[in-house]
């Protein structure tokens, strides 16, 4: 029989060897992990798609309770199909309505930018004494052939075979992504159709192979993670879309330029709580100030009014206390998440921080209750 002390020693030796191999052969480990990720990436895509679509499925099934929908199989099938159609409809609207509007706005900005810059520099020269030579340098600036080649990674005198090889690699990459996406879609459909069975199987696995304390902790972690991410993502997305639509409609009513572009920018940046929408508002002010300072001021007032309406009326009813963490932790999550994964890290880092915060709060509550129980226990 191995004594407990020997078991602890063996665990320590194993961890030391493990970390030594990990550090000494990091490139090999990294290569193996990347290969493994490439192999299971369609399944990861499927799980992500299933998570997003399930937010719609759950809400649809909550209203499908009578008539033919008393059959659980039929209700689940219809809800999944309708959810995928809703997602496809949203993507179609974005591709054929929103994106063309953004392109038109960008073209208009590019057309009006030189005149707007000249007006701005004239204003600064008149009021701040900035030399007009700066404007002349900007007007005389041209991109030479080498600069363009460096920007787009093109090599002069590139052979036809190299060009065909690059094109083949690009086509192969596109086909690979499409194939993985279709596999992910089928996998997502299966997960959604059998989610109760999958959940029950995972529960049995943990009960069988893990100590009860660890199994209960993992189930609690999974429940908190799902609820936090589901509430945050669904609520934040709905609120961002509403705010973006309000900005677009308001700009249209006041006759301001670039309503679709600014509305989309505000909606995308509003996915990040507290500070996100103000970045979008700043972009709107910058775009309009080149055209007219009065229009920029009008937009700023409109945006602040809509932001107050959203913060006081819309956001509390849609998102509510989905985040449930202090503002200082939200700022920390935005900064740290942005350093790791950019905008996506900012967005997903907030619910991750909320999960950790909830787990710490639960542990503190358990420890406090245990301490109070020990204090109230009469001593003999």
Q: What is the pLDDT of residues 251-287, one digit of tens each?
A: 999 988 888 888 888 888 888 776 778 888 888 888 8
Residues 177 and 274 occupy one common structural domain: no
Domain identity same for 229 and 104: no
**pLDDT tens for each residue of 156-185:** 444 445 554 555 556 667 787 788 888 888
Same domain for 322 and 350, yes or no, is: yes
Report which of 245, 241, 6, 258 is spatially closest to residue 113, judged by C-alpha positions.
Answer: 258
Alpha-carbon distance values, 28 to 13, 41, 123, 194, 329 (Å):
22, 20, 59, 37, 36
Q: In this predicted structure, which of 43-52, 182-191, 240-249, 320-329 has the lowest mean pLDDT?
A: 320-329
Task: Judge whether 379 lies within some domain.
Answer: no
Assess whether 243 and 109 both reside in one domain: no
Tell whether 154 is covered by a domain: no
> Any idea which residue has 């290969």 for tokens?
35
- Say whether both 70 and 184 belong to one domain: yes
**Do 294 and 355 sit in the same domain of this protein?**
yes
For the chain, how many structural domains are there in total? 2
Query: What would the DSSP string read from start to end of 2-16?
Result: --HHHHHHHHHHHHH
Between helix 26-63 and helix 212-253 the angle, nearest 10°, is 70
- 161 located within any domain: no
Q: Flag whether 105 is in a domain.
A: yes
Residue span of the structural domain in which 95 resides: 41-114+167-193
The stretch 59-87 carries a mean pLDDT of 87
Which one, of 331, 315, 238, 251, lies nearest residue 283 by Cα? Answer: 251
Greater pLDDT, 185 or 23: 185
Q: Model confidence over 340-371: pLDDT tens digits? A: 777 778 778 888 888 888 888 888 888 888 88
Confidence of residue 143 (pLDDT cuts 50, 70, 90): very low
Structure tokens at 13: 């030796």
Residue 79 has what pLDDT?
A: 92
Q: What angle do CA 333, 334, 335 make, to 5 degrees?
A: 95
Based on the fold, state whether residues 362 and 225 are members of the same structural domain: yes
Residue 303: its pLDDT value, please?
Answer: 92
**Average pLDDT in the chain:** 78
Find out whether 62 and 36 touch, Cβ atoms under 8 Å. no
Within-domain flag for 2: no
Are 240 and 175 in a shared domain? Answer: no
Quickly list DSSP for 106-128: HHHHHHHHHHHHHHHHHHHHHHH
Say whether both 185 and 305 belong to one domain: no
Q: Is residue 26 part of a domain?
A: no
Answer whether residue 313 is part of any domain. Answer: yes
pLDDT for residue 157: 46
Q: Is the same domain home to 215 and 361?
A: yes
Q: Specify whether 188 is located in the same domain as 241.
A: no
pTM above 0.75, yes or no: no
* 353 domain residue, yes or no: yes
- Same domain for 244 and 181, yes or no, is no
């Amino acid at each position: 029989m191995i004594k407990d002390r020997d078991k602890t020693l063996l665990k320590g030796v194993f961890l030391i060897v493990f970390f030594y191999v990990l550090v000494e052969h990091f490139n090999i480990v990294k290569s193996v992990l990347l290969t493994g990720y490439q192999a299971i990436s369609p399944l990861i895509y499927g799980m992500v798609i299933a998570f997003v679509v399930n937010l719609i499925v759950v809400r649809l099934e909550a209203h499908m309770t009578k008539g033919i929908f008393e059959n659980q199989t039929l209700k689940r099938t219809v809800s999944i199909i309708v959810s995928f159609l809703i997602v496809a409809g949203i993507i179609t609207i974005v591709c054929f309505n929103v994106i063309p509007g953004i392109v038109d706005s960008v073209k208009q900005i590019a057309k009006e930018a030189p005149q707007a810059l000249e007006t701005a520099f004239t204003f600064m020269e008149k009021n701040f004494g900035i030399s007009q030579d700066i404007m002349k340098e900007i007007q005389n600036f041209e991109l030479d052939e080498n600069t363009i080649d460096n920007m787009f990674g093109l090599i002069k005198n590139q052979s036809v075979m190299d060009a065909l090889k690059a094109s083949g690699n690009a086509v192969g990459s596109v086909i690979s992504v499409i194939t993985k996406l279709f596999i992910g879609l089928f996998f997502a459909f299966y997960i959604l159709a059998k989610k109760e069975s999958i959940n029950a199987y995972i529960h049995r696995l943990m009960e069988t192979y893990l100590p009860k304390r660890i199994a209960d902790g993992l189930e609690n972690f999974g429940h908190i993670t799902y609820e936090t991410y589901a509430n945050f993502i669904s609520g934040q997305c709905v609120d961002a879309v509403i705010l973006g639509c309000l900005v677009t409609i308001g700009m249209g009513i006041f006759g301001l330029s670039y309503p679709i572009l600014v509305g989309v920018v505000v909606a995308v940046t509003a996915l990040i709580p507290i500070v996100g929408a103000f970045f979008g508002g700043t972009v709107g002010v910058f775009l309009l100030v080149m055209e007219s300072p009065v229009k920029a001021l009008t937009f700023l007032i409109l945006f602040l009014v809509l932001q107050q309406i959203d913060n006081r009326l819309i956001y509390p009813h849609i998102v509510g206390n989905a985040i449930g963490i202090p503002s200082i932790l939200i700022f920390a999550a935005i900064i740290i998440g942005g350093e790791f994964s950019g905008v996506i890290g900012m967005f997903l880092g907030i619910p991750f921080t909320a999960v950790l915060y909830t787990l710490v709060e639960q542990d503190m509550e358990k420890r406090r209750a245990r301490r109070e129980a020990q204090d109230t226990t009469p001593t003999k």
